[in-house]
Structure 1
């Protein structure tokens, strides 16, 4: 059992390292969640590995997975993407700890998760569209007939290759509008 936990832990660590350093960080350049992602994964790994050594029903295992996957920090600062990554770290920890197959199957499952994540995060399948919220003061430009000129004005002011916009709020008292400007990363 001791050497099995070391092998599984090594596979888990390599998978987490690849997900953190080679997929998550290059795309988001945020280090604030590294600790959270790593510790969540490690804790889930150890809990599920230890629970896997005792007999529990499949229903109890799914219930445990549901509890861990539904954990959510009650802050506004966590985006949907970060929550998805947190779920991935939980899933990798659980899969690595409880999969009954061979080491090859275990590495294959982790590779598939990492491969699909990389493919979806890169420009391999889709161009990455980003958005910026802009407080815009030229209220005359928000009229539908002026949208092409508005897009061009936003391109000049921001230096971004804006290709579409949405107007989220209009304040006629202050002559301002809140606009979402959408552009491609590259």
Structure 2
């Protein structure tokens, strides 16, 4: 039945010499897009679980955009070269309006990479292999985030002692933060520094149960 519909569609329904619908390709698009969306949801909400809604929006939007670009333009035989070029372009993205941590950029690369894989995997790659590739990425990230270092949270704060941000004063910085916040800070990343106001935007990483 599907073959009959496909044959009729290919021969009869065209607009400006372009097929109105290709049942086989459209079904493939819907299935792959569903897999990609599911993987993006798992990465964003089950592994990362970020409370920053603006980054969540970015992950979903870029994932869908990259997937559709790769899938639709992949049909014109750009394939691997195009995918690598697109990945490189997004790899040098710099958001000037807000600070993006290395961790958030890593998750951005992950959702882009998954979108490229799901869009450009050709018929030589079975569905089982495609599902395994997606599951492997999600599994590795889940293992790293939820098993090896469970409960590690992050918080952006404005810090008012720029002198302690020097690399030689790392221990003093941690001691000061621990004393002020009453938690055991695991790591710190430094953002924008305002030397005039003697303040800086930093991100601290700590275990969730320690802040209760």
Q: What's the TM-score, normalizing by structure 2? A: 0.62
Aligned length: 164
Q: What residue number does 1:65 align with?
A: 87
| Equivalent pair of 1:134/1:181 in contact (CA under 8 Å) | no
1:23 aligns with 2:17: no
The alpha-carbon distance between structure 1 residues 104 and 57, as it changes in their structure 2 partners (threshold 3 A), is: closer
CA distance in 2, matches of 1:7, 1:181: 39
CA distance in 1, matches of 2:180, 2:88: 47
Residue 83 (structure 1) aligned to one of 105, 119, 143: 105
RMSD of aligned Cα (Å) = 3.5
Q: Which segments of 5 or more consecutive residues in structure 2 lack a partner in the other structure? A: 1-24, 162-168, 189-194
The alpha-carbon distance between structure 1 residues 69 and 181, as it changes in their structure 2 partners (threshold 3 A), is: closer
1:109 aligns with 2:133: yes
Q: Secondary structure at the match of 1:32?
A: helix
CA distance in 2, matches of 1:63, 1:130: 33
CA distance in 2, matches of 1:67, 1:162: 35
Q: Which segments of 5 or more consecutive residues in structure 1 lack a partner in the other structure? A: 137-143, 166-170
The alpha-carbon distance between structure 1 residues 20 and 133, as it changes in their structure 2 partners (threshold 3 A), is: same
Q: What's the TM-score, normalizing by structure 1? A: 0.70
- Residue 86 of structure 1 and its aligned partner are, at CA, apart by 1.2
- Residue 64 of structure 1 and its aligned partner are, at CA, apart by 2.5
Aligned 1:1-150 pairs, distance under 5 A: 1-25=25-49, 28-56=50-78, 58-100=80-122, 101-122=125-146, 124-126=147-149, 128=152, 134-135=159-160
The alpha-carbon distance between structure 1 residues 181 and 31, as it changes in their structure 2 partners (threshold 3 A), is: closer
